[in-house]
Structure 1
Amino acid sequence: MLSADWNSWVRENLERGCTPDSLVQVMLARRIDGKEAALAVTQALAAVDGAPTSTGPCWPDRFAFRSANRAIVGDRTLRVIARIERPAAVLLENVLSPQECQYLIALSKQQMRPSTVVSPDTGEIAMIEARSSEGAWFVRGHDATIAAIETRLAELMRVPVEHGEGLQVLHYRAGGEYRPHYDYFPPEQSGSAPHLARGGQRTASLIMYLNNPDAGGETVFPLAGAAFVPRRGNALYFAYCDGLGRLDSSSLHGGAPVAGGEKWIATKWVRQQPYR
C-alpha cells in the first residue's frame, strides 16, 4: 500500500495542475511499484475536482483494426485476438511468420547489450533497475528481411516507413521484467527535448512476440486492468498521441516478470514526423 504521505502528495500535485503521467514517472523513479502508483493517481483523479485529464483513445485515422476483426496487410491476413478502447490497443495474430521470428532472434544474439532508458532530466541514455533485459538495435532497412517487415508494419499502423524508429529486439531471461512506464517523451521534462527534435513525439508502439515464454512475461496496462500473453508471431499495437499532440496517460504499461523460460520481443516505435 502507498503511504498516506504519498497519497497526499499525489492529490496536492493534481490540484496544482501536474499531469497524471508526470506524477507516475516521479513515483517510478522513487522505486514505487507501478501498479501502486497507477492506482493512487486513478483514485486521486476521481476525487479531485478539476484535476487535469488526458485525451481519449488515440486511434489513428483509417486504422482498420479499431473495428474490423481481420484485414489483409501486405502478404498476410491479420486477425484480432483482443482489443481495448482505452488506451487504444489491439492484439493481432500472424503479424510475423515463425521463420521471421527465428531470424530476428538469431540476428540479434551476437549484438546484445544491456537495455537502457532515456533520463527524464538530461535526455541521456542510462541503465536502471526497473528494466532487466538485453537488446539489439537495427537501423531502418537494415537488410531485406527487416525492410519487408517494416513495410508491413507501416501499412498495419497507417504511417510512412520513414516515421518509424529502427527495430529493437529485446531478450528477457527468467525473472526479467520492465516495470510500468510510458513510451512517449513527457514534454514537460527537459530531457525529452533532444529526442522530440528527431521526429517529434512518439505516437504508437508495436510489440512483436518472437517466442512463447513458459510462464509470465505478459504486457500489462495497470490503469486499464489488462494483460496480454506473449505468443510467437502475435503483435500488440497501442497508440497514445493523437493528431493534436495530446497524450493518453492510460497507456502506462510494463512487461511482467518472466516466470518460466525466456522472452524475446521486437519493438517498433513511430513518430509524428520522419525520424532521423
Structure 2
Amino acid sequence: MLDEAWQDWIRDNLKRGCTVESMVSVMIHERIDPVLAMESIQRVAEGRAANGEPGDESDACHCWSPRFALSSSNRVHIEGHAIRMVARLERPAVAVLDGVLSDEECKAFITLSRNRMTQSTVVDPADGVARTIHSRSSKSMFFERGQTPLVSRVERRLAQLMGEPVAHGEGLQVLHYQQGGEYRPHYDYFPPGEAGSTRHVTQGGQRCATLIMYLNDVEAGGGTTFPDVGFTCFPRRGMGLYFAYRDAGGLLDPLTLHGGMPVARGEKWIMTKWVRERPYG
C-alpha cells in the first residue's frame, strides 16, 4: 500500500479538483504500478485510508448527474413517450426504468439486427485490441448513430433521458444471449493507467454512464447483477437499467462492477447505450 505522504497527496489533489486520469499519470511517472495507483485513489476518495480503516466520506464518488431526466421526479415524458422510475440506488448510481422502449421498438431492433450478429468482443487492457473471451458468450452488432429513423428517434430519447448530447453517445449495440449465455462481472469504463485504455479515451474521453435496454422477456435467469452491492435486475421487455460511474471530478465508481447472469431458459436480447465525457465519433 502507498505510504501516508502519497495518501495526503491524493487527498490534496482531489480537493483541488484534479481528475483521476491526471493523478494516475503522475503516479505512473513516479514508477507506481497503475493498478495500485487507481486503487489508492479510489480508497482515499471513499474516505478510507489505504489500510482500509473508515474515515471521512466527504470525497466519496457521487455519480448522479442533475441532468439525468429523473433526478428529481418519478416519471418523465420525452417526445410523448412516458418513462417511469421503478427503483433507484444512491450508490452505485443505478436506476431501473419502465417504458424506455415500446414493444414495437423492441421487436424492430431484434428484426433489424438478427442477421448481422457476430461474436462479442472485449477490450484487452494490455493493448486496447478487441478480442473474444470465454467469459462473454454473446453475439452482437452496432448501429451507427442516426443509421435509421428508428435509431435516430431512440437516440434523441436516450440523450434527453441520460442528460447527455446525442454526439456524446457511442452507437447502439444489440446483444443476443442464447441459453447458458453470460457476461461475467466487469466494468464498462476503461481502467485508467492501463495501456489499452489510452487508445479508447483519446476520442471522446472516458465512458460516464450506461443504459441497458431489455428487448424481450427472459423465461429464467439472465439478470444484470451488481455483486458488490447485492443487487440484481431481471429483464422485462421495454425496461431499462441506467447506471453512472464517472463523477464531475473524473472519479470512477468501482461499485458499478456488474455482469450478465447465465440465461437459464430461453434467450435474451438487450441493447446498450454508452455515453462519453466529450463528443465521440
In structure 2, the residue matched to 1:8 is none
SS in 1 for 2:70: helix
State the Cα distance separating 1:56 from its structure 2 match: 2.2
Amino-acid identity (%): 51
Unpaired runs of 5+ residues, structure 1, are 1-12, 24-43
Distance 1:46 1:193 in 2: 26
Contact kept in structure 1, 2:40 and 2:50, CA below 8 Å? no
Distance change in 2, residues 1:168/1:88 (3 Å): same
In structure 2, the residue matched to 1:173 is 178
Count of residues in Structure 1 that have an aligned counterpart in Structure 2: 243
In structure 1, the residue matched to 2:122 is 117
Question: How does the TM-score come out when normalised to structure 1?
Answer: 0.82
Following superposition of structure 1 onto structure 2, how do residues 56-205 of structure 1 map, counting pairs within 5 Å?
A: 56-205=61-210
In structure 1, the residue matched to 2:52 is 48
Please state if 1:261 is matched with 2:280: no
Deviations 1:91-116 (A, max 9, x none): 11111011100000000111000000
State the Cα distance separating 1:123 from its structure 2 match: 0.3
State the Cα distance separating 1:183 from its structure 2 match: 0.2
State the Cα distance separating 1:237 from its structure 2 match: 0.5
Distance 1:98 1:22 in 2: 43
Aligned partner letter, 2:103: P
Alignment RMSD (CA, Å): 2.6
In structure 2, the residue matched to 1:28 is none
Contact kept in structure 2, 1:173 and 1:258, CA below 8 Å? yes
Distance 2:53 2:272 in 1: 38
State the Cα distance separating 1:223 from its structure 2 match: 1.1
Deviations 1:114-141 (A, max 9, x none): 0000000000000011100000111111
In structure 1, the residue matched to 2:11 is none
Distance change in 2, residues 1:21/1:210 (3 Å): farther
State the Cα distance separating 1:18 from its structure 2 match: 4.4
Distance 1:108 1:93 in 2: 23
Deviations 1:208-234 (A, max 9, x none): 000001000000001111000110000
Unpaired runs of 5+ residues, structure 2, are 1-31, 43-47
Question: How does the TM-score come out when normalised to structure 2?
Answer: 0.81
Distance 2:86 2:54 in 1: 37
SS in 2 for 1:66: coil
State the Cα distance separating 1:61 from its structure 2 match: 2.2
| Larger Rg belongs to | 2
Contact kept in structure 2, 1:71 and 1:77, CA below 8 Å? yes
Deviations 1:49-71 (A, max 9, x none): 489x9842301123232342111
Deviations 1:153-201 (A, max 9, x none): 0000001000000000000000000000000001110100010011000
Distance 2:78 2:214 in 1: 18
Distance 1:123 1:233 in 2: 33
